[in-house]
Structures are given as structure tokens and as C-alpha cells.
Structure 1
Amino acid sequence: MLLLIGVGGGFYFRGLRAKAAAARAEQHAAALEREIASLRQEIVALHDIEARRLEGLASRKRYFEENDVTDIENQIRFIGQAELRAVRPVNKEAVRVLYALDEWIAANQPDWRMSFEVSMGAFIKTAAYDPDDRVLQAAFSSYNSKRVDFLLIDRFGQPMLAVEYHGTGHDLSNDAPGRMEVKRLALSRAGIPLVEIPAKAAKAKILDMIAETLA
């Protein structure tokens, strides 16, 4: 009898331990399921974030491509969408200077020619060319986009005289004095004479200044 009781008790306690182990296993499995569900939610959220990031990148790429002014097709599209009109390349005041220069050329150097609004990078280059020299690149970039009002060249195309007209609209921007100083320095370093004509100067004054500078 005692033996039977002992055997029965052993089964009972083993059953209790088995039930406890099963309960713990169920709890562990439930915890794993909750953790897996949480990870799945995080993965979905990360996918959403990545999808939005990629969509943003694609949108910015499309915007850049559609607004890239270096693209010829975009240039044609932009011009086709805008209303354009012809304007005077020189203002009314500067026209007087232009004709005074033209008169001086006809009387003194008939084989010379004149251009106006000329980019300085078109007629001034660095003495040496080295694409890896940052100083040369920086120097060229400093004056390249700046323009002179008038440029006189000889029959061989050599720059002979630069003319700046300081009319009423010359100093409208705050950086005008600094830009003019850069022009003076670049022209001086290139050995090109410069005449700076004051506002509303009479034709006789303009002709005298040109003659004095080139004497």
C-alpha cells in the first residue's frame, strides 16, 4: 500500500511539475510571439520610413532634372515658357559714350573695332595654364564673369583699351566699388589701359581722356 501511495505521489508531483513547465513554456511562447509581433511592427515602420526616404530622393531627383539649367532641353523649355522682349544692350547715357568712342576710332585708329559689355574672361587669361593650380583657377574665377562696358581692339584682335562709364546706375549695388576694384586690378595685371568716364561727361571730355590714356 505504501508503495502504491509512493508511486501515485510521484506521478502526482511529476504531473504538477509538468503542468508548471508547460505553463512556463506557454508564457515563454506568448512572450516570443509578442516580441515577434513587435519586431514585425518595427520592420513595417522601417520599411515605411525607407519608402518615404526613397520617394523623397526620387522627388528631389525629378525636381533637379526638371529644373537643371545646364540641360539643353530644359533651357529650350524654360525659354519657350517665358515671355521675352528686346532691350537696349547699353543705356541711354552710355550710348553717348559709345558714339564718342566710335568717332575717336574713325578719326584716330580706323582699323580698330569696338565691342561693349564684354566678359573679361574672353580677353584676359592667366599667363600659365595648370588645371590643378587652385590659385590660377581662383584668379580666373575672380574676374571671369565681370564685364567691361566697352573694349577697343586693334586689327589683330588684341585688346587695346577698356572703357568704363560711371553713369547714374553704375553704383546701385553695394558691391559696385569692390567689383570695380577687381576690374582695375585685372586690367592692370594684363597690361590693358583703362579709361573711367564720369557720369554725364561731355564728348570733348571723353575724347580727351581717351587720347591722354593712349598717349
Structure 2
Amino acid sequence: MYDIIGYLLTLVMLVLFLRELAKKKKRNHFQQYDLSDPNNQLRFVSNASFKSKPLMERKVAHVFYDIENKLKARDLGERVFSEVALGAYLNTVQRDDNAFKSINSKRCDFLIINRYGQPICAVEYQGKEHYQGTARHRDAIKAIAHEKAGVAFLELFPEDSKDIIHAKLERALAA
């Protein structure tokens, strides 16, 4: 009788020990790959190989240069930037973490600022491959955030000629 109780007690202790060991292993694995830890980030980046890649596809670059040339012709000190995170230039008026997190990781293709560094127009280039997955939702979120912030939101399309791009820019920048 005592042998069975001793055996069962030993078995329970072994199961508890193995369970705790598995938890510790899982916790260590999580800590080892936790991206919120800057030491892990440093390790990942140090161990990886990197290469540069073009910031813009050729067609997008042409649109960028068209915008840049139009702004130079206006001679108002406006500048254009590419691939800007919305969280870099938009913020919620009252602290609203969910709303801010909803825009923070999104980017506009081009951001036009005035001579004082204030954003005045975000430009989205809707290329042929643009509307995939949740693109319509992302664009709606971007449009609403810009409207609420008083920053013009302009959409350009592959079929837009240079003249059409310039006319759309004039209308957006005049608003």
C-alpha cells in the first residue's frame, strides 16, 4: 500500500517537474526571440546580411519627380518626401492610443510640406498592383485621418498624365 502511494507521489512530482521544465524552456525561447528586447534586435541585425533596394519603383519615381518639378515651379519653398509614416506627422488631438496605433504604421507615398515644415498634402499613388487585400480599408483610414488633421489627401493613378498630376496638385494645394 505504502509502495503504491510512494510510487504515485514520485510520479506526480516527476510530472510537475517536467511541466515546470517545459514552461521554463518556453519562457526562455520567448525571451530569446522577443523583439521588444533591444539586445535581441541587436543580435538579429548583427547576424543578418542586408542589401539596399530602390525606395521607389520606376513609375512611382517618375510621379515623385513630376511632383518635385511642380513644387519647384511654384517657388513657395514646398518640399516633397517619399514613404513617410503617418505617425511622423499626424497625431490625435486628445490621447487616443487605438486611433494613433491605427495610423502609425501606415505610410503615404509622398508628403508635401510647406516652407515651415508643416504637412500640407499627402499623396497616394494607386498603382496597378495597389488594390490587394485590405488596401481599400487602409486608404479609407488614411483619408479620414488626413481630413480630420486638415491635410489634403490626393490620389494619383497610373493613367494620370503629367498635366493631370499638376492640375490635381494645384487643386489640392490651393485648398
Q: TM-score, normalised by structure 2?
A: 0.93
Per the alignment, residue 68 of structure 2 pairs with: 102
Distance 1:197 1:109 in 2: 22
- Please give the secondary structure, in 2, of the residue aligned with 1:149: strand
* Deviation for aligned residue 1:62: 1.3
Partner of residue 12, structure 2: 46
Match of 1:86 among 38, 52, 72: 52
Q: Work out which of the residue numbers 161, 174, 177 in structure 1 matches 2:136.
A: 177
Gaps of at least 5 residues in structure 2 are none
Distance 2:157 2:45 in 1: 37
2:123–2:156 contact (8 Å) kept in structure 1: yes
- Runs of 5+ consecutive residues of structure 1 not aligned to the other structure: 1-33, 130-135
Q: Determine the C-alpha separation between the residues in 1 that align with 2:159 and 2:23.
A: 55
Q: Percent identity?
A: 29
Shift in Å at residue 110 of structure 1? 4.3
Give the corresponding residue for 2:160: 201
Q: Confirm or deny: 8 A CA contact 1:165 1:196 kept in the other structure.
A: yes
RMSD: 1.3
Is the 8 Å Cα contact of residues 111 and 155 (structure 1) preserved in structure 2?
yes
Task: Decide which of 107, 117, 121 is 1:147's aligned counterpart.
Answer: 107
| Runs of 4+ that moved beyond 6 A | none
User: TM-score if structure 1 supplies the norm length?
Assistant: 0.77
Deviations 1:186-213 (A, max 9, x none): 1111111111001142222111110122
Relative to 1, partners in 2 of residues 1:109 and 1:128: Cα closer, same or farther, differing over 3 Å? Answer: farther
CA distance in 1, matches of 2:77, 2:114: 7
1:126 and 1:210 map into 2 onto residues whose CA distance is 26
Q: How does 1:28-47 map to 2 (within 5 A)?
A: 34=1, 36-47=2-13
Return the index of the structure with the highest Cα Rg: 1
1:52 deviates by 0.8
Aligned length: 174
- Decide whether aligned partners of structure 1 residues 170 and 109 sit closer, same or farther in structure 2, where only a CA change above 3 A counts: farther
Q: What is residue 167 of structure 1 aligned with on the other side?
A: 127
Give the deviation of 1:83 after TM superposition.
2.4
